Amino acid sequence: MAKNDPIERALGRLGELRHAEPTAAVTEELRGFLRNRGNLVVAKTAVVVCELRVVALVPELVIAFNKFMVDAPRLDKRCAAVTEIATALYELDYDEPDPYLAGIKHVQLEASYGPPVDEAAKLRAVSAQGLLRTRYADALSEVVQLLVDREPAARIGAIRAFGVNGGEAGVLLLRLKVLTGDIEPAVLAECFSALLTASGEKSVAFVARYINADEATAEGAMLALGESRLPTAYAVLKEKWARTVLMPMRKVLLVAMAASKLDEAISFLVSLVESASVQTAGAALEALSIYRHNERISESVRAAALRRKEKAVVEAYRHSFGS
């Protein structure tokens, strides 16, 4: 774009407004940008409105959404504007169903170097999350259809929606999705995380069944268990560690344990730094590196590495902790 291009000027100004206070003057300027004909300008405006939490502009967001949806393939290439608007509405707690109902059903195939690409998958995903937060009577029926959507991003959106706002019915649907499977490991991994978010302890045993599945599924299950931060989930990981020999899977277990942020897990990893084989100690250091800015933990790790008095372990510590 040329420097005097109006779209470029608008995008530049919106970049400045991201750091502004949401004063009345800023709100009016954003309102003007929401009326812009350019989908990229409106998309970025929606992002700024969301970041500044300008709730007063929610009606204008809805108007802009409806305007582009009249002929989205022509007016909104790649669904740029409607996706960001739907995201902003969701983040600003908009609870009327109409935009989400339109978004969850929208498919927009656009040309690419290969087969046409559906650019509306992310829109369907966020619309699913928004719709389940409304009082729409048939919200579950609408969202469940996305569990078999062609696009993984849309399926993941439905899974997140059921995990956060699906209640008991959502938990059962998530279990059914796991039981029926998915060709994308990321989709099943999202199911594991959503189940542990939605029903915590009740889902630990169910998710634990999959730590012995194929490598990709097992990895998703183990990471979800770790990220749940539940002591019972950590116990599952510790038991799996005791009967795991292959280093690739051991590395995943160490990352999952570190992600739990439980004192017991951190102590175990530090003990591996101090006394396990050089290879295992290095893997533990890599997993613990997420705590490099935590003074207490990093000092404990440093002391354990130095007590080894082995150059390879000390070098691994310096590589992972930058010291």
- Structure tokens belonging to residue 93: 């707690």
pTM of the predicted model, to two decimals? 0.90
Cα 80 from chain centre? 19
Residue 308 has pLDDT above 90, yes or no: no
CA 20-23-28 angle, 5° bins: 100
The percent of residues in the chain predicted with pLDDT above 70, rounded, is 98
Q: State the DSSP string of 136-160.
A: -TTHHHHHHGGGG-SSHHHHHHHHH
| Sequence-separated (6 or more) residues with CB below 8 Å from residue 213 | 221
Average pLDDT, the chain: 95
Distance CA 82, CA 141 (A): 23
Residue 309 has a pLDDT of: 84
Phi, psi of 149 (to 5 degrees): -60, 150
Give the model confidence (pLDDT) of 197-254 as tens digits.
999 999 999 999 999 999 999 999 999 999 999 999 999 999 999 999 999 999 999 9
Whether residue 130 has pLDDT greater than 80: yes
Q: How far is CA 164 from CA 101, 158, 159, 244, 270, in A?
A: 18, 10, 9, 33, 34
Structure tokens at 25: 């003057």
Distances in Å between the Cα of 146 and the Cα atoms of 69, 155, 184 are 20, 5, 14
| 141 CB-contact burial (10 Å; exposed 0-12 / middle 13-18 / buried 19+) | exposed
Structure confidence at residue 265 (pLDDT): 97
What's the chain's Rg over C-alpha atoms? Answer: 24
Per-residue pLDDT at 114: 85
Give residue-wise pLDDT tens across range 254-297: 999 999 999 999 999 999 999 999 999 999 999 999 999 999 99
Q: What is the pLDDT of residue 156?
A: 98
Task: Inform me whether the pLDDT recorded for 3 exceeds 70.
Answer: no
